[in-house]
Amino acid sequence: MLIAVLAAIYFYDLGNTPVYFGGDEAHFGVAAHSIANTGRNLRGDFLPLFVNLSDPLGRKPHEWGDTYYQPVLFYLTALVVKVLPLSITSVRLTAAFIGGILTPLLMYLVALRVIGRRGPALAAALLLALAPTQVVLSRQALDYICPLPFVCGWLWCLHEHVRTGQRKFAIAAGAILGVGCYSYIASWAMMPGYLLLSWIVMWRQGRCVRPIAESGLAFAVPVSLALLWIALHPDMLAQTMARYDRQEGQTFGLLPTYLSFFDPTLLFIRGGPSMTTSTARSGFVLLSAAPLLAAGALALWRRRDWVAFVIVAGIVSAPIPAALKGEPSLIQRAMYLLPFLALTGGLGFALLWQSRSWAVRLVTVAALALAPVQFAYFYFDYFTHYKLRSAFYYDNVAFVDVAAYLIADRRAPAFYFADDVDDASVKWRFYSTVNGKAELLARTQYIAPDAVPAGPADSLLVTYEQSPRLERLTAGGWRIEKIVHDVDNRPAAAILRKQR
């Protein structure tokens, strides 16, 4: 029943909500489609370990060079689009399954081992599954949620190793963490940290050196592939470092940025500053989880065992990679926090439910009763007004409507895009591929924002709806043919045609 409910929550109207298809989603879609059909990315690399996003028919390279992404979501999505036609729904399906089905199920199994009772384990799984940020991120083709199954799998194996002493679970824990490094870029810092936690636990439990060494070897085997691949592609590391060294807007110090991830307003009320990762009307987790987390903190203090040590260490360490960037409250970069908060909430539920005080039990029942009410408010807002107020942030040119107009045109011999149009290159490839018009890419050029191309007659040009550039274009022989409005009725893009 739980899986059926979660499937409905995470899969319903997946192709239309969020209302627009983001640029990063399009990258995952077109690269996965290329890998599924040719075994190569758009640049022609055969089964790349790290996926280069450059497109020979796309816009010019960024100032830092090429962009590389972690491979897990690409290859999982490639399996889906190998079976299903390429579409927004099929591209988003993998993340929705990972975030809405796989991770909550694994969380339940972990909590059942750690807590030992079904009720608290179910509470932990629901705290994770009904977290608004988890829902928002899992309904997009983004890899923020991809590390969570690896974290849950590692926790389960570590618990089994401590419980049984069998070395196979230590080996499995190391292997899971090693593969998990490829799930999201911050995992290259987090997964080795979890391995170190495992070693500390094994050592304090009186285990011999052998399971520690074996888990380290199991971790090193998948990680060694990255070292070999980087040695053969030395530009990848330099270009990735250059990309993450770039700063956009104001930055803050390490400590203020780190502490921002534990702001109660962020956790329970607003959920972060980005409209593509939060509705800004619901927190990172539901507000009704607060009493469970408070009770869970008390339960951890009372336990003071290796489980409490790992949970506290997991909570404390989760925001560290995100804090290094100096951009506060971007909670999507610290999703590692969620499984440990879920376990804390499950322990809190167990502590409150076994209390003999009627007042304490009343608080517990109230928290459980309020959870579906608050989630219903979040979910209704997510499918209604949020679609309007977030449209600009997902796609500020309403590219799905731009692409539909261009693809339907039968006259244009060439297409031009101002290269500051957000993610125009990859979105144009995505929509032209979906509509079976990939040949249009060879007739497409990307021009400087202030350029006035000569262009053959009847060509179409897409740019922002801004008066100065439109005036230059009309003076240069281009005629405004259509102003595209987004779902919030905001002028988003201008389509111009070259006059004869």
The answer on 452 and 303 residing in a single domain is no
CA 432 to chain centre: 25
Asked if pLDDT for residue 403 goes beyond 90, the answer is yes
| CB neighbour burial string for 394-422, b if at least 16 within 10 angstroms, e if fewer | bbbbbbbbbbeebbeeeebebbbbbbebe
The answer on 149 and 44 residing in a single domain is yes
Phi first, then psi, for residue 464 (nearest 5°) are: -70, 155
CA geometry: angle 144, 423, 185, nearest 5 deg: 25
Q: Of 388, 404, 423, which marks where a domain is finished? A: 388
What's the pLDDT tens digit per position in 234-269?
Answer: 899 888 888 887 776 678 899 999 999 999 999 999
- Determine the 3-state secondary structure of 479 from DSSP: strand
The answer on 403 and 372 residing in a single domain is no
- Determine the 3-state secondary structure of 478 from DSSP: strand
The answer on 253 and 372 residing in a single domain is yes
- Do 453 and 473 touch, CB atoms closer than 8 A? no
The answer on 173 and 273 residing in a single domain is yes
Token representation of residue 473 = 């274009």
Range with the poorest average pLDDT among 216-225, 353-362, 449-458: 353-362
Share of residues in the chain with pLDDT > 70 (%): 99
The answer on 405 and 380 residing in a single domain is no
Q: Distance (Å, rounded) from C-alpha 137 to C-alpha 394?
A: 12
Number of domains in the chain: 2
- Determine the 3-state secondary structure of 81 from DSSP: helix
Position 63 scores a pLDDT of: 79
- Assign 364 a pLDDT band (cuts: 50, 70, 90): confident
Asked if pLDDT for residue 368 goes beyond 90, the answer is no
Of the candidates 23, 84, 27, the one whose C-alpha atom is nearest the C-alpha of residue 51 is: 27
The residue range of the domain holding 452 is 395-498
What's the pLDDT tens digit per position in 333-354?
Answer: 999 999 999 999 999 999 998 8
CA geometry: angle 45, 49, 54, nearest 5 deg: 45
The average pLDDT across 32-44 equals 96
The answer on 349 and 456 residing in a single domain is no
CA 195 to chain centre: 23
Token representation of residue 57 = 């028919």
Position 59 scores a pLDDT of: 84
Share of residues in the chain with pLDDT > 90 (%): 87
Asked if pLDDT for residue 23 goes beyond 70, the answer is yes
- Do 158 and 168 touch, CB atoms closer than 8 A? no
Q: Of 388, 408, 438, which marks where a domain is finished? A: 388
The answer on 440 and 315 residing in a single domain is no
Q: Distance (Å, rounded) from C-alpha 159 to C-alpha 169?
A: 9
Sequence-distant (6+) residues with CB within 8 A of 222 are: 175, 178, 179, 181, 182
Sequence-distant (6+) residues with CB within 8 A of 259 are: none
- Assign 207 a pLDDT band (cuts: 50, 70, 90): confident
Q: Distance (Å, rounded) from C-alpha 134 to C-alpha 99?
A: 7
Q: Of 344, 370, 388, which marks where a domain is finished? A: 388
- Do 215 and 257 touch, CB atoms closer than 8 A? no
The answer on 421 and 304 residing in a single domain is no
The answer on 214 and 294 residing in a single domain is yes
The answer on 384 and 401 residing in a single domain is no
- In sequence order, the β-bridge partners of residue 40 are 46
Phi/psi region, residue 381 (left: phi>0; alpha: psi -120 to 50; beta: rest), is: alpha
Position 339 scores a pLDDT of: 98
Position 249 scores a pLDDT of: 66
Position 500 scores a pLDDT of: 84
The average pLDDT across 465-494 equals 94
Computed over every residue of the chain, the mean pLDDT equals: 94
The answer on 68 and 213 residing in a single domain is yes
Q: Distance (Å, rounded) from C-alpha 322 to C-alpha 333?
A: 6
